Amino acid sequence: MKLNFEKSAQQGNEFLSLLTKNLETSAKQSENILINVLHSLRSHLTLEETIHFLSGVPMAIKAVYVDGWQYYPYEKRTRAAQELIVEVMKTDRSGDRNFTNWSQGVDMIRRVIKTLNEFALQEKKDFAALLPAHLRVFFFSDKAIDKPKIVSGKAQRRIALAS
């Protein structure tokens, strides 16, 4: 196997361009949103699900996913789509405030995953099959997701401000 890092960088740039187009944001905002979604997924997936997920994404996306990650085997894994949305919105530390309200946050997260799927299909990979069933339903449906009634601490203030 010959390593081709230029191809990985090219795929990463192509993906980012596609994501920027699909999110209808600047490249910098698209980067921030991608990082927020991928880093939040880390606490939502088990190690086995993470390995399965990473097997179907380009090397550049894998690098973003694992950047700064420390896996804690006994950490509680969130399993509800609402908890994932809250975490993505909570980790939005950019000055651009990428998620102005709950429904926009849901829409942006879905667009990121749908763009990953679209990109994977170009590589003839079934990205959707790499996700756990409960996430497939959330990401690939247009069903509205209700904002949770009870959210703790900083996330509650963050979402209240964004609503």
Q: Looking at per-residue confidence, does 160 or 83 come out higher? A: 83
pLDDT band at 142 (very low <50, low <70, confident <90, very high): confident
Tell me if 1 is assigned to some domain. Answer: no
Tell me if 21 is assigned to some domain. Answer: yes
Tell me if 3 is assigned to some domain. Answer: no
pLDDT on residue 4:
78
Dump pLDDT digits (tens) for 55-96: 878 888 999 999 999 887 766 666 778 888 888 888 876 655
Distance, CA of 105 to CA of 101 (rounded, Å): 6
Q: Which domain holds residue 100?
A: 8-162
Tell me if 75 is assigned to some domain. Answer: yes
pLDDT on residue 162:
47
Distance, CA of 120 to CA of 141 (rounded, Å): 18
pLDDT on residue 19:
94
Which letter, b or e, does each residue of 109-144 get, where b requires 16 or more Cβ atoms within 10 Å of its Cβ? bbbbbbbbbebbeeeebebbebbbeebbebbeeeee
Distance, CA of 78 to CA of 101 (rounded, Å): 21
Distance, CA of 125 to CA of 28 (rounded, Å): 27
Q: Does the pLDDT value for residue 157 go beyond 60?
A: no
pLDDT on residue 65:
93
Distance, CA of 161 to CA of 135 (rounded, Å): 26
Residue 89, H or E segment: helix 81-90
Tell me if 2 is assigned to some domain. Answer: no
Q: Tokens at residue 157, please?
A: 């203030």
pLDDT on residue 94:
63
Tell me if 103 is assigned to some domain. Answer: yes
CATH number at residue 57: 1.10.490.110
Burial category of 59 from C-beta neighbours within 10 Å (exposed 0-12, middle 13-18, buried 19 and up): middle
Report phi then psi at 102, rounded to 5: -60, -50
Distance, CA of 98 to CA of 108 (rounded, Å): 9
**Number of domains, the chain:** 1
Tell me if 92 is assigned to some domain. Answer: yes
Tell me if 19 is assigned to some domain. Answer: yes
Q: Looking at per-residue confidence, does 139 or 162 come out higher? A: 139
Q: Looking at per-residue confidence, does 8 or 94 come out higher? A: 8
